[in-house]
Amino acid sequence: MTLTLVASLTALGLSHVAPARGATLVWSDEFNGAAGSSPSTSNWNFETGGGGWGNNEWQTYTNSRQNSYLDGNGRLVIAARSDGTSITSARLNTLGKVAFTYGTASARIKLPAGKGLLPAFWLMGTDIYSVGWPASGEIDVIETPSVTTSYTNHVHGPTTSGGTWKLGNSGAIADLSTDFHTYSVTKSRDAITVALDGRTVGSYRASQLSADKKWVFNKPTYLLLTLAVGGDWPGDPDLTTPNPSYMTLDWIRVYSS
């Protein structure tokens, strides 16, 4: 039986997106399991294939244990690797299994450093296949294209004329690839807050938008974990890019208030 968490959870405050005092843990994956085993298919779907993924990316996503596996120490590893002729990686999501409308999603992640790498923890509206993108809405909690000495987060939505709008925040920070850090997003009505180790690094509100921009985030969103290689944003990998490169997750959790 799959678990779907689409209840309208009570909105959390915006000053801090760590779980509020009294917050209730409603779902988590602690990645416990035997070394080399698959991440839980009760929680995760594997999106597979190549084709650039809308960004001219180089990798082909697979469901192979070469690209996603438990390490036996309570962690999930997503590995991007090249065999000299092709690059493979993994893209995991919780669509149809885990989603939330209001509350906080947090993940403790060690990000990979390397030219041309784009690791990401992000959210998408569960209506993606009925309304398409950007009407589904997209929330990028953390992305580090090529460089892990800065953080980036974004929200993407539609305009009334059928176009796309984007808001974002970024800033310099100590190298995020040297240790685990906690990346969080809190969704409340008409507001989204992103935090890094409990410090707010992005704040977005419907009231910021001009009349031609739609706020489409007061609805269920699911979780995604990806490690892309190459493409329009991170640029090309080179001989300095580690092969394999690893994005490692200690845990991922969803809280209500």
pLDDT tens, residue by residue, 84-102: 999 999 999 999 999 999 9
Cβ atoms of 202 and 20 within 8 Å: the answer is no
* CA-derived radius of gyration, the chain: 17
Average pLDDT score over the chain? 93
Give catalytic residue positions. Answer: 138, 143
Q: Residue 257 pLDDT more than 80? A: no
Q: Residue 8 pLDDT more than 60? A: no
| Nearest Cα to Cα of residue 133 among 166, 107, 102 | 166
Q: Residue 196 pLDDT more than 70? A: yes
- The separation between the first and the last C-alpha atoms of the chain, rounded to the nearest angstrom, is 25
Q: Residue 18 pLDDT more than 90? A: no
Q: Residue 15 pLDDT more than 50? A: no
pLDDT tens, residue by residue, 127-158: 999 999 999 999 999 999 999 999 999 999 99
pTM over 0.85: yes
Going along the chain from its start, the domains and CATH numbers come out as 24-256 (2.60.120.200)
The rounded distance, in Å, linking the Cα atoms of 249 and 78 is 8
Residue 197 has a CB neighbour count (10 Å cut-off) of: 14
Is the CA virtual torsion 226, 230, 233, 235 positive or negative?
positive
Q: Residue 14 pLDDT more than 70? A: no
- CB hemisphere CA count around 142 (13 angstroms): 31
> In the numeric block, which tokens belong to residue 63?
């469901």
DSSP-derived pairing of the beta strands 87-89 and 60-61 = parallel
Kindly state the average pLDDT of the residues 15-40: 83
